[in-house]
Structure 1
Amino acid sequence: MSGTTLEWFGATTFRLKTRGLTIFLDTWLEKPDVLPHYLSIDQVTEADYIFISHAHFDHLPGCDRLAKQTGAIVIANGEAINTLREAGVSEDQLIPVAGGERIPLFTKATRLAALEDEVATAPGPPGAPRRPEDSLATMAVHAWPSLHCVLPGKSHADIPDEMNTATRYEGSSPYACTIDITIGMRYGLLRLSELVSPENLDQGERSFADYVSKRDVNIMSNFDGGQIMFSFLIGEKTLLWSAHLGAYRGILERLEPKPDVLIQAIAGRANIDGRPYDGSAAEAATMISELLGQPQQIIWCLHDEAPIKPWRIDTRAATSMVESKTKSRVLELTPGEAQYLFDV
């Protein structure tokens, strides 16, 4: 019986290997040069599927090159798909989702066999990419609408150097939402080199400004495009990947099957049901665990070193609260090292 392994490359980028498939979750492998480097796109020789949580600078870049290099199928929201299409990724490799979709996954050998009519294929209109019949799938994925986190203060200037998951936030403008993130990206962060002279930028900010200026290489959008979380149904096990601290309670509560493993971003102020969460990231993460039926394992992400504030996230309060109030246990990953999860 083969095993399921997971490798973390920082932020929300992972490589999942299971049931004969190699799957990337986000593709931020090549980052601003101030950050640690674990894996180059040129080092990746195999990928069957790529899932993108949203279209921001620390999630989507590298996806176009990785897809072209490996022939992987990309599943992402419409904003990310349009950005990839403009970058020259083949239409046959692009599957746009908005949440609510259920997607069968096939080995590359089965997908290629379907193109040659060597296996049964699913019905489709003329000109549509040929794909294998659903019964030939090795596993499945459910896409669900989710939410990006919100700013912990009134502007980026209010963000601390290090964010503590114990810090509680209360109150906000009645209109505070992810539109603030979009505007901040479009007119602030992605124009950093235009707005601030180089001598007034620290090393991380200079590195970030240089990175986002190379938009022909590092594709991205100031608009997240609608956050998507993905539930991977792997035999009798389920892994849920949520790449930001935001969600709809109703979806979490009703999601089936419940995850055995939850990959949960822990940065920022939680965004629950489209409203800034009154409380701490630790409290929000504990609530999420409870709504999901207390997954056996939780893996934090988006808590490591960043080129701009917050430079890191102190997860100790979140780990302590989750483990004291739920049955979930936090699994710490070492970047670049494969972690065994379960048999399949």
Structure 2
Amino acid sequence: MTTSQETTLEWFGATTFRLRVRGVTVFLDTWLDKPDILPTLLAADDVTEADYIFISHAHFDHLPGADRIAIKTGAIVVANNEAINLMRNAGVPEHQLFPVQGGERIPLFTRKTRDDAAADLSLLAPGLPGAPRRPLDKLAALRVDIWPSLHCFMPEDHPQVIDTATVYKGSASPYSCTLDITFGMKHGLLKIGELMPPDKLTPGHKSFIKYVSDRERNVFSHCDGGQLMFNFVAGDKALLWTAHLGGYEGVLRDMQPKPDIAIMAIAGRANFNGRPFDGSAAEFAAKKVDWLGRPSQVIWCLHDEACIPPWRIDTEAATKAVEANGKTKILDLEHAKAVVLDI
């Protein structure tokens, strides 16, 4: 049994988590309602409590559900402008939309503090006329530091299962970059129903095609809008959530405070400073952990079963590479099972 003072984390597959910390309920991505071939562990429409929603980027397996959860719960959505515009068009009230692009620090408040401040204007921080007002900074339960990050690349051999030990070198073009991912999403992945022969479509493909065709219920974009990562700082502890295997060395190396726990995606070929990383995912993960100051715990994500290839990620090599530093241990989570964190 947990208490309201404990920090708990639940994983709902891919990069979606529910974090409860210091009386604040936070969703990290909101891909709860999956293609019907995959299990839905918690339906978005069944979420009754959320104070904040943080979105890593606007793709189909990260953003859907955020609009419905925000409208139902009054949660504040913190996301890049691509995602925010989609939320606005889906009917999320303007005062719940916080557009960010990395470099921001935002105080987070319990729902009671927000309600008390709405009833007592003396508890509100000064603000511009018409701008959303927030409680006084001293009333914050914790804060989040937001940093720019990078989406991973898909290995050019498109393996059925990605082994984090596999070494990749070079690229098809000296200009390989995130724009390739955007075009590949729009003109490739989201059109597989047109591009693949019907007899080659697996039940997973068919489930995926059905899911991405319903753009009214499943709100997302072919453009990620700019990958973000979030460092949650509670007192002298910090938890970093980064939802893809990529990043800028300088940002990761110079980040302060260093996270005690890092949630890290481990799928794909790493994106290092905007270019495909020469080496394995395991090697890049070890570098990333070193840049982050060797947090005591790392939690993998985006490595579980998918409905289209690659079907899954073999994390064994990445786990060995990261734990070789002698300080960091991998914490394996089970779907929808809360664990208590020391944050």
User: Could you say whether these structures have the same fold, taking a TM-score greater than 0.5 normalized by the shorter chain as the test?
Assistant: yes
The structure-2 alpha-carbon separation of the partners of 1:200 and 1:241, relative to structure 1 and needing over 3 Å to count, comes to: same
Secondary structure of the equivalent of 1:333? coil
Aligned to 1:44: 47
| Correspondence for 1:77 among 53, 76, 80 | 80
Aligned to 1:324: 324
In structure 2, stretches of 5+ residues that fail to align are: none
In structure 1, stretches of 5+ residues that fail to align are: none
Aligned to 1:199: 199
Tell me how large the CA RMSD over aligned residues is: 1.1
After TM superposition, the structure 1 = structure 2 runs for residues 263-282 of structure 1, keeping only pairs within 5 Å, are: 263-282=263-282
Aligned to 2:249: 249
Scaled by the length of structure 1, the TM-score of the pair is 0.96
Alpha-carbon shift at residue 191 of structure 1 (Å): 1.8
2:235 is aligned with 1:235? yes
Distance 1:254 1:206 in 2: 44
Aligned to 2:163: 164
1:271 is matched by which residue type in structure 2?
Answer: N
After TM superposition, the structure 1 = structure 2 runs for residues 84-163 of structure 1, keeping only pairs within 5 Å, are: 84-153=87-156, 158-163=157-162
Alpha-carbon shift at residue 197 of structure 1 (Å): 4.7
Alpha-carbon shift at residue 195 of structure 1 (Å): 2.7
Distance 2:77 2:64 in 1: 13
Q: Deviations over 1:274-314 (max 9, x none)?
A: 11000000000000010111000000000000111111000
Q: Taking every aligned residue pair, what percent have the same amino acid on both sides? A: 62
Alpha-carbon shift at residue 246 of structure 1 (Å): 0.4
1:141 is matched by which residue type in structure 2?
Answer: V
Distance 1:258 1:239 in 2: 9
Secondary structure of the equivalent of 1:103? strand
Distance 1:43 1:119 in 2: 35
Q: Deviations over 1:228-283 (max 9, x none)?
A: 00000012210000000000000111000000000000000000111100000000
Aligned residues between the structures: 339
Secondary structure of the equivalent of 1:50? strand
